[in-house]
Structure formats: C-alpha cells, structure tokens
Amino acid sequence: MKVLVTGSAGFIGFHLVEKLLKAGNQVVGYDNINDYYDVNLKYDRLKETGILRASIIQNELVQSNKYPNYTFIKADLTDKPILEDVFKKEKFDIVINLAAQAGVRYSLTNPEAYLKSNIEGFLNLLEACRNNPVKHLVFASSSSVYGANTKLPYSEHDSVDRPISLYAASKKTNELMAYTYSHLFKIPATGLRFFTVYGPWGRPDMAMALFTSSILNNQDVNIFNNGNMFRDFTYIDDIVEGIIRVMNNIPVSSTKSLDANDNEAGSLASYKVYNIGNSTPVKLMDYIEAIEKTLQIPAKRNYLPMQPGDVFHTYADTSELQKDVGYKPVTKIQEGIDAYVRWFKEYYNFS
C-alpha cells in the first residue's frame, strides 16, 4: 500500500516509517521539522531512513538513499496548497497523522502553536482526504483527553469533556473533527489515544530523557508531586505494532443509536477511537529507580509540587483494541528502560 505518515521525523513517526518500509509498503514522510526540540535529533532520525539533511529542499519530495520505496517532504500541514498537491500526485491508500504540536506544559505558554498546528493543520489534512479519498485515516490523539477524570482505568466510553490543558483540548477537538468528516464525507477514520510512549530515539522533553540525562550529568532529577504519580508507560515497539494493526482494520459504520454508555459507536460514521497503552501503570518513583538500576548511578532527587496541566494517574483500558485487532503489549518496563539507556548513552556519547 501507499502510506502517508505525517510527523515522520518525530519519535513515533520515525519508528513507524521504518517498520512500514521493511514490510514492503510504499511510504511518503511529511514533517515540518519544527524547533520545539533539537532539530538535530529529527535530522538524525531521517538519516537512519536514508534521508540526508543536505538533500532536503523545502516543499519538495526527496528520495531515500536507503529505501527505494521511501520519499520525504519537508513541509507544513498548514500550507494547504502543498498538502493538496502531494495528495493529488501520490494518491494514498492510507494516511497516518502523527504530526502535532506536542507537550502539555508548553501549551501553557505557547497556546497559539497548538491552534495552528493541531487544529488548522489537521483541518487541512481532513480536507485533503475529502478531496482525494483514502481507504483509512489513522490519527494521533492522546490520553490527555481524559483530563480530570478519576475513574480508572480510562475507557473509550468515558466522558472526555474536562481537559486540563490546551494540548488535551486540541486532541479532543481532533477527534470531533475526524468524526464529523467521517460522517459527512464517508472517510473511514480511527483515533489512537497514546499513553506515555518511550524508547530509543525518544523526545528529549519526555520524562525518560530528562531523568536519564540528569542522572548521567550528576544533576538534580526534578520529581513532581513527590513522585506520587502513576503513568502507563508504553514501549515504542508495542505502539508501532498497534498502529499497524489498526491501519489494516478499517472501521465500518454502525446503525446503533448514540447513548450515554456508548458514545463512540452509533452513527453512520465509519469511525473508531482506541486507547493504546501498556495497561500497567508504573509509579514515578519506581520508574526512576529502574533507570538508576540500569545506569548503576543514584539520582539526586529534587522533589517539586504538581505542575499545572499534569494529571495524577494514567491507566489505559485497552480491551477494545485487544478485541478488535489482537493488540497486546509485550515489553516489560525494565526491558524497555534498558534498551532506551543503551541508545541514549551511545547517541549522546556517554561511555
């Protein structure tokens, strides 16, 4: 199949592109390579897939020198004419949208970035799918949509009407927009609510990178809410496996009526939302101790209060995903941390 992956220079996008290519798919990567975090990491990910920095020309497709079935374009989803042109020329079977302005805390100080990228950019993508029909649109949502919910584990049938960050609100908006376009224009669409993804080539602003870097550099490890938080940490390989299974599982429309207990199934829309996580929450302090164990270095702990926009607990109910596509994460937390630390030390030149 021919697959468009937006956000292909990002953490999840990079790993997904490699797996799709190795499975024989034809892939087009699309990324604006913004400077939310170090662009060198993004260019190094691209280099791993045969896209050399020197070969990249803004708004032009370039060919990988490693995979003959891979091309990449540096472009922004908010540039609607460029996006429409790529869709018309490439005629995609599948679109996987991972492009977004990420980060909960960053949304507190730079709200405009989230409206432009996550709302305007996503609207342009939906319009492109409308004008150039595709078999399936898979898009990234987030566990952040559960906001102030206290019922655990988080279920797709729970209300998500209380976001506590603009990032979360933008992701809930994406779900509503995709549902509307699916209903109106018959675009099969599936949203994936990601739960704290980690692993090699991970983002430097995520907890794993911050903790590992601070310990190796003998700096304070900032621990919010005194470490009394739980996260459903999910290893990157399990996430990518889930995305590919979902990609091949195109939702069908339902004639069931909407009601308070079944708010995702019930209209003529070919639309579905899934949680995708590990379903095994880990206490933040246990996570830090696992990193200490791998590094064999104790952390200098700096305890801080809860930060605005943070939630106390994330825990994914993935029973729907398991039932529909057989999703079952297999990577244990210590195994995943070991793999990440090996990569981190090699990439950042720690002996």
Q: Which residues are catalytic?
A: 167
The Cα–Cα gap between 113 and 106 comes to 9
* Cα-based distances in Å from 245 to 83, 239, 276, 325: 26, 10, 11, 6
The Cα–Cα gap between 243 and 140 comes to 10
- Candidates 88, 95, 77, 191; CA nearest to 134 is 95
User: What's the full length of the chain, in residues?
Assistant: 351
| Residue 212 · residue 290 · CB < 8 Å | no
- Candidates 344, 328, 68; CA nearest to 203 is 344
Counting beta carbons within 10 angstroms of the beta carbon of residue 90, is it exposed (0 to 12), middle (13 to 18) or buried (19 or more)? middle
- Packing angle of the helix pair 236-247, 11-22 (nearest 10 deg): 60
| Residue 310 · residue 225 · CB < 8 Å | yes
